[in-house]
Chains A and B, each alone.
Chain A
Amino acid sequence: MIDISLRTKILILFLTLIVISSITTITAVLFATNNSVEQQAQDKLNVGLRVFEQLMDIRANQLFESAEVLTADFGFKAAVLDKDEQTLISVLENHGARIDADLMMLASLDGELLASTETTTQADNQFPFTDLLSEAQQEGGLMRIVMLNGQAYQMLMLPVYAPVPVAWAMVGFQIDQALADQLKSLTNLEVSFTGMYRKDHTLNVSTLPLAPEATSMTDAAWQTVIWDNNEYLTLKAPLIDGGYYHVDTLLSTSLDEVYASFSPLKVQILGISGLALLISILIGFVIARNVTRPVNKLVNAAERISSGDYSEKIADGDYTRNEIGKLAISFDRMQNEIADREDKILYQVYHDSLTGLANRSLVQQQIDNVIGEGTEHVVTFALVSINLQKFKQVNDTFGYQVGDKLLQAFAKKLTDVCAPEDTTARLGGDEFLLILKGVGENQLRPELHRLLKALNTSYCIDSLEIPVSITLGAALYPEHGARTSQLLRRTDIALNTAKAHNLSASVYEPGSDEKYLSQIRLVNDLKTAIAEDQLTMFYQPKVDLHEQCVTQVEALIRWFHPELGFIRPDEFIGLAEQSGQMPELTRWVIRRVLSDAANWQAQGIDLAMAVNVSAYDLATDELPQYALNLLHSLNLSTRHLIIEVTESAVMQDPEQALSVLNQFKSEGIKLAIDDYGTGYSSLSQMKSMPVDELKIDMSFVLKLAESKEDQAIVQSTIELGHHLGLTVVAEGVENRESWALLESYGCDKLQGYYISKPQSSQDFITWYQSYKVQDEYENASDMTGHPS
C-alpha cells in the first residue's frame, strides 16, 4: 500500500466523483445527442417527406392546370383537328414550350399516335401508353410517372375537347436534375430519383454526387446508407411501383450535417465539463487544504510535543467547534499534563526524594552549567563533599527512621547555612555535596570553618539530641580540575583523605588523583599480571632458636610491573582486596608456594611455607580444601603449609573466619597470628583463635635494643604467648642486639634482615645451603635495612 496523504485522498475522491459525474453527463448528452441526431434526421425526413408530397401535389396541380389550359386552348384545338402532322408537331412544341413541358404527344381517341415531340422507340411509331387509355377514359384524364427513352416524366394524359373529346394530349414534365435541385432547395433534403424501365433503361437523378442504389431498399423504411463517405438517413418512396415502370424517390438527409450541428454543443459540453473539472480540482484543493491544514497543525504539534516542547498552545478560536478543534483542545490538555508529569519526573530524576536536595545528576548538570559560564567570564567555585561521621551508628542505634529524619534535618540545616545561589545536594547515604559559587582558594578555608562550626551541632530528632560531626572534602575550580567528573572525583579524594587521616576537613592535594588513577590502572594490570606470571614469590626464613636452624620460610609476593617496575605489596594487595581479586591471588600464591616447596623437597630442603591470607580469603569455605588438594597432589604433608592471618582479617567476620581457620587446624595445618600488637590485640580474641604461632609485629622489634618500652612489650608478649601455649616469632630482627635480647626473652623464632632479606626461590636455595647457624653472628652484621 502506497502511503497517500489525506489531502491527496480527498482530492482523488473529489476528482473521481467529478470525473464520474462528468463522464455520465457527457455520455448521457452524447447518447441523447446521437438519439436526437437520429430523431432529428427522421423528423427532418418526415417533414421533408410531407413537404415533398405537398410539393409534388402542388406541382401536379400546377402541371395539370397548365396542361388543361393548354388543351383547352382554342388554337391548340384547331391545330389538333388540323391533321397535318408537321403542323401538329410544331403546335405541340410551341404550346408545350408555353408551359415548360418536356414532352408533348397527341393521340387519337383510338390510341393512334398523331404527333409527338419525342421519337418513340415503338415500332411503327406506336403510341407508347395505350395501356393507360382506358383508365384515362374512365377518369377523364390521369397523371402518371412514366419513362420514355430513359427519361422519367410526370405525365398528364388529358382529352382534347372540341368541344367533345377528339384526341388525347399527353403533356410530360421531365423528372430531372433541375426538379431534384428545386425539391432539395424546398425540402432541404437530398432528393434522388432512380428508376428502371424494361431492365435496360435506368434513371439516375440525384442531388447527391452519386445517385444511390435504391433497389436494395425497402419502401417506407429508414435506412442509413453511406454514400461517398457520408452517412445518410434515407427514406424510399416509390413514385410508381409495378409494371415495367419503376421509379423511386429517395429522400436523404446527411447525418453528418446533423451531427455537425451538434458538434458546437458537444464542444460546449466538453468545455463545461473541463471547466467543472478544473473548478472541482481547485475546490478540492481548497477543501483538502482546509481539512488537512488543521490536521497538519496537530501533526506538527504532536511532533513538537514529542520533541519535548510544550510551550505552544494548539487550540485556537478557529477550530474549537468541530472535531479537529476538540482534538486540539485534547492535545492542549495532554500537552499540559505531559509537561506537569515531566516536571515531576524531572524533579524526581534530579532531586533526592528524602531530603528534596539536588541529586548527583542535577549536581553534575549544574557544575557543567557553571563551568560552561566560565567561557564568558571568570568563574570560581568550590565543591565541598560532606560526610556525617558515624552515621551508621545512628541508624544502628536509633533505627532508619531516625536516621532519615536526621538526614532531613541536616539537609535543612545545610540549606539554611548556604547562600541561596549555592547548590546543596545529597549524593547518597550520608554523603552531601555543596557547590559554593565564587569561593576561591582564599575563601575556601574560612568557608570550611564556617560550615564545620555551623553544622557540627546537635539535631533534635523525636526528642533525641543527636550530635553530629562532619568531615569535609573540598576541591576548587579551576585550580583542581577543569571537568565535572574530575572535580567530583577529586572532592571525593579529599574527603577520603580527610577520613583516612581523621581530619575534619581536607582540601584536594594536587597529584592525589593521579595516584588514585594509577591504583585503578594497577587493579586492571593485576589481572594480566597473574595470567602472565609477572608475579613472583620471595621467601624469608624464620630461624628456630631452639633447633638453631631454619625450619620455616614466609612466602612474600613480589610484582615486577613491565612498565612501572617493582610494585610494593601493601600497594597492590589492598587494591586486589578492594577489586575482589584476592581469592584468585591467594590461590595463585598457594599454588606457587607449594610448587616451590615440592621442588625444594626434591632437592632435600624440607621447610614449612608460611602463606599470608586476608579477610577476603576467609570469607568463603573453599580455601582449606583447595590447599589440601594441592598438598596431596604435590605429595606434601600438611606441616609444609602454615597460614598467617592478621587479627583484623579475622575481626571482619569472626564467626566465618574462625570456621575456616578451624578447618585448616583440623586438617593439621598450622596457623599464625601476623602483625600481633598493632591491631586489636584482643586477648579474648586471641584466646578463641585456633592458632599455634604468634608473630610480634616488627614495629616492636626493629628498635628493640634502644627502646625500653618495646623490650617490655616484647618480653611480656612472649611470655603471654608461651603461657597460652603458642610459639612466638619476632619479625624485623635487624641486628645482633635484638637477636640477643629476643633469645634472652625466650622467643622461639626469629625473622628479619639480620638473618636474611626475602629472596627468590633460586637465591633462597643458594643462601640456605650456605647458611650455618654457627656463622650467623659473623654474617649477619652485613645485613642492614628494612624489610620490604
Chain B
Amino acid sequence: MILCLLSGLTSFQAFALDIKVVDQHGDRVKDAFIAIPEGTITQANPQPAVMDQVDVRFVPHVLAIPQGQDVIFPNSDNIRHHVYSFSEPKRFEIKLYKGVPKTPIKFEQSGLVALGCNIHDSMLGYIIVSPWPEFAVTDQSGMVKLSRAVTRIAVWHPWIPELKEPMMLNLNATEDVNMFQVTLNLTKPKPVQRFKKKQKKRYND
C-alpha cells in the first residue's frame, strides 16, 4: 500500500524543486524514482545506458532511462551471468556471458523492468523506463532536484509492493515551495531465500 505524504517546504519555486524521500520510519530512501509526468520523449539518447554487474549485483540497483534508450549490460565479474527480464515492458535474456555484450538492449516501452540472473537468484535489479523526459533516482541522501516546480510528480520504488506503474502525487503548490518530502510506505521484499521451517515440534517424547 502506498501512503503519500506531502509536506510543503517554502523554496524557490521558480527555479527548482528539491524532493526528499523518506520511508515510514523517516529514514531516507535511496533508489526512489521521481519524475515530472509531463511531456514526451522526442529523441532518445544515442549513448546506451549501463547496468553493470559487480560482485554478483546489479549496479546500479535501480536504473532510470528514457523510453527508447539502449542499455548495455557489461559483466564486471569474472563469473558468467545470465541476465533476464520477464517484465511486461521488456522481456529479454542475455544468456551466459562475460564481458560486455556486443548489442545493447533497447527499451521501447515505458514501465518497470525487473532484472534477474538465472544462475544467481539473489541478483535483482530494476530498470525504470520513463515515458517522461525529466526524472531522477534518489541517492543515499534520498534527495533529487527537479528543474522546475510542479504540482504533480510520479513516484516509484521497488519496495512498494505490487506497484506496477509509478504513482502520481499531487504536490500542494499553493505557496512557494522549493522542497517537498515524500514519505513512502515500503516493504523490504524477502530476499530470495529458503524459508525456514517454522513447524512446531508436534511430536513430543
Q: Which residues of A contact B (CB under 8 A)?
A: 46, 49, 52-53, 57, 60-61, 64, 68, 72, 74, 77-78, 81, 109, 139-143, 158, 161-166, 220, 237-239, 241
Contact = CB atoms under 8 A, between A and B. Distances in A.
Nearest to B117: A163
Nearest to A251: B203
A161 B192 contact: yes
B197 interface: yes
A46 B205 contact: yes
Nearest to A61: B197
A164 B189 contact: yes
B167 to A, nearest CB: 17
B195 A72 contact: no
Nearest to B192: A161
B86 A162 contact: yes
B193 interface: yes
A162 B112 CA distance: 13
B86 to A, nearest CB: 4
A220 B123 contact: no
B102 interface: no
A109 B205 contact: no
Nearest to A219: B202
B103 interface: no
B121 interface: yes
A60 B194 CA distance: 12
Interface in B171-205: 189-190, 192-195, 197-199, 201-205
Contacts of A74: 82, 84, 118
Q: Give the residue among A57, A78, A161, A237 with the most B Cβ atoms within 10 A.
A: A161
B194 A64 contact: yes
A60 B202 CA distance: 15
Given A109-B162, A161-B116, A237 B202 contact: yes
Given A77-B86, A162-B114, 4 more contacts: A52-B203, A60-B199, A140-B193, A239-B202
B86 A53 contact: no
B123 A60 contact: no
B105 interface: no
The 5 closest A-B pairs by CB, nearest first: A163-B116, A141-B195, A140-B190, A162-B86, A140-B195
A367 B140 CA distance: 161
Nearest to B116: A163
Interface residues of B, number: 27
Nearest to A164: B114
A141 B198 CA distance: 10
Contacts of A64: 194, 197
B194 A166 contact: no
B124 A163 contact: yes
Interface string B26-66: 00000000000000000000000000000000000000000
Contacts of A46: 205
23 contacts: A49-B203, A49-B205, A52-B203, A60-B197, A74-B84, A78-B86, A139-B195, A139-B198, A140-B193, A161-B121, A162-B116, A163-B114, A163-B115, A163-B116, A163-B117, A163-B121, A163-B124, A164-B114, A164-B124, A166-B86, A237-B202, A238-B202, A241-B202
Contacts of B158: 164
A1 B97 CA distance: 113
Which of B162, B189, B195: most chain A CB closer than 10 A?
Answer: B195
Nearest to B123: A163
Contacts of A53: 201, 203
Contact of A143 (B115, B192, B197, B205): B197
A238 B162 CA distance: 37
A142 B198 CA distance: 8
Contacts of A77: 86
A166 B91 CA distance: 14
Nearest to A163: B116
Contact of A142 (B162, B190, B195): B195
Contacts of A81: 86
A60 B82 CA distance: 30
A57 B121 CA distance: 25
Contacts of B116: 161-163
Contacts of A109: 162
A162 B86 CA distance: 6
Residue of B114, B121, B124, B192 with most partner-chain A CB within 10 A: B192
A311 B116 CA distance: 127
Contacts of B162: 109
Contacts of A237: 202-203
B137 to A, nearest CB: 18
Contacts of A164: 114, 124, 158, 189
A52 B158 CA distance: 43
A165 B205 CA distance: 39
B182 to A, nearest CB: 22
Interface string B102-135: 0000000000001111100101100000000000
